[in-house]
Structure 1
Amino acid sequence: MSPTSTAAVHTLDVPGARLHYEVRGTGPLVVLVGAPMDAAAFAPLAELLATDRTVLTTDPRGHQGSVLADPEQDSTPQLRADDLAGLIAHLGIGPAVVFGSSGGAVSALALAQSEPDLVTTVIAHEPPLNELLDDRDHLRANTEEMIATYRTGDVVGAWRKFMANADIMMPEPVLQQIFGGERDPRQTASERYWFNHELRGTTTWEPDIAVLQTTPTRVVIGIGVESTGQLCDRASRALGERIGVTPTIFPGDHTGFVDDPAAFAVRFREVLGSTS
């Protein structure tokens, strides 16, 4: 967290975990969430949105400051949705707009299915819903292969396979720079938990299409303008086709809110204005 952050930092005990969460601003509640991406990644966007809203960010269970009673417990979208429900209820200022990106988008969709009264709008930004795609068997096999590769100790090799499966072009020198050599122990612990206990459950989760078609929660499907042809672009469009929602385009790629939070905040406000 930067020295100029306006966040108040707290923890909340939920079944099986103690969650780290941060709150900024006042006004209607917005939740920004990833999986495995933690609260720190959303901080710049949160600061921009907190000028007129209460913004909640959190480390998902098993990552960074959100510790598990059983470190070997798998993280599922429904468990993470239950965590979000607990946080929203604890703050007592809901219902919320929930923006989830990647695995966090899957968590947000699961929340919309199970606790629609807590969520006015879900913005599901590039959820990796592999099971909605025609090549799901191939993608599932690739996921098992990258997990197996990670467990052999070949971290760079596992990430190389992940990027290939996600249709994300990352030059070998960049892979080596990010995932090779000495790294932050907390980051590697988060990575280890994600490969071993979260990746499979997230990418094989199947949304309840009938529920999402009829839920009172407004469902927005977000896609980065630079993500065309990538796995999450395909999965997001597949979800849109099934529930009858035209995807909404956001700046950047899969992590556009990190790369250019100012532009992302402008688009975020436009989307909220069109869905409120």
Structure 2
Amino acid sequence: MTEPLPDAYDVRGSGPVLLLVPGGAGHPMGLGPLTERLSARFTVVTYDPLGLAHGRLGLPVAGRRVADWSEGAHRVLETVLPAGGSAYVCGTSSGGIAALDLLARHPHRLAHVVAHEPPCVTLLPDGAERRAELIGQLDGPGRPPAEGASATPMGVFLAHVLRPFTAHTPAFTAPPGRLTVAAGTASRGQLLHRTAEVTAGRLGGAFAEFPGGHLGTLDHPLEFADRLADMFLSSARTSA
């Protein structure tokens, strides 16, 4: 039997634990400014579910299901959290879907989850059509390689993550006050803004807007980090 790969993650900062689950194929590229800003107030744990930033880019890909990512995130939290402790979680895009699944499976370890623009399009009344549209927009001719020396994180996302994650339909009721589904202010009028609003309503969470659009963590990292930190720390004061 093949031994499971160790979970890949990085830790920086001090304070309450904040788990980040990146979007795409989970590669944390470009998140440096965001994590640096957050690390002044939190112990930031950046999860790399496929190990792409830890030597596995270009190798065969395992862990293609939403549950693989959420259970891996849970193992990481069990490693870094003190006994009886709980963590804040922010997942964006595909990482937002994993964060929702983590909340559904392990709510006792989570203080508050922010799922930023999770593409849970199957929750929409026209979900099948919107999913086909989304896949068609992203997965056109000229797809980047997913394996080998020329592999890219985008290639891995298109080959192994896009379809199973957009097919995932979360079905649970969030614990009161512990879920926020977010969308970017620049995404107003777009598919994933509508999806975030519908997802919040279906799961019993709050809806909030964050700076920027779908890539707000990259394009507006400082503003995004401050909005996230204020939301988490405010929720902590409310629940105290």
| Aligned 8 A contact 1:38 1:64 in 2 | yes
Map residues 57-76 of structure 1 onto 2, 5 A cutoff: 57-61=46-50, 63-65=52-54, 67=56, 71-73=60-62, 75-76=64-65
How far residue 43 of structure 1 moved from its aligned partner, in angstroms, is 1.9
Q: Matches of 2:114 and 2:150 in 1, distance apart?
A: 26
Amino acid of the residue matched to residue 44 of structure 1?
A: P
Residue equivalent to 2:187: 227
Matched length: 228
> 1:26 and 2:14 equivalent?
yes
Q: Structure 1 residue aligned with 2:167, among 192, 204, 218?
A: 204
Residue equivalent to 2:132: 141
How far residue 269 of structure 1 moved from its aligned partner, in angstroms, is 2.1
Map residues 109-258 of structure 1 onto 2, 5 A cutoff: 109-142=100-133, 145=136, 149-150=140-141, 154-155=142-143, 188-208=151-171, 211-213=172-174, 215=175, 218-258=178-218
| Aligned Cα root-mean-square deviation (Å) | 2.7
Rg larger in 1 or in 2?
Answer: 1
Q: Structure 2 residue aligned with 1:44, among 33, 40, 65?
A: 33
Structure 2 residue runs without a partner (length 5+)? none
User: Judging changes above 3 Å, is the alpha-carbon distance between structure 1 residues 243 and 200 closer, same or farther for their aligned structure 2 residues?
Assistant: same
TM-score of the superposed pair, with normalisation by structure 2 = 0.84
Q: Matches of 1:127 and 1:143 in 2, distance apart?
A: 13
| Aligned 8 A contact 2:91 2:114 in 1 | yes
Q: Matches of 1:265 and 1:146 in 2, distance apart?
A: 29
Q: Matches of 2:228 and 2:135 in 1, distance apart?
A: 35
How far residue 244 of structure 1 moved from its aligned partner, in angstroms, is 3.5
SS of aligned partner of 1:41:
coil
Residue equivalent to 1:108: 99
TM-score of the superposed pair, with normalisation by structure 1 = 0.74
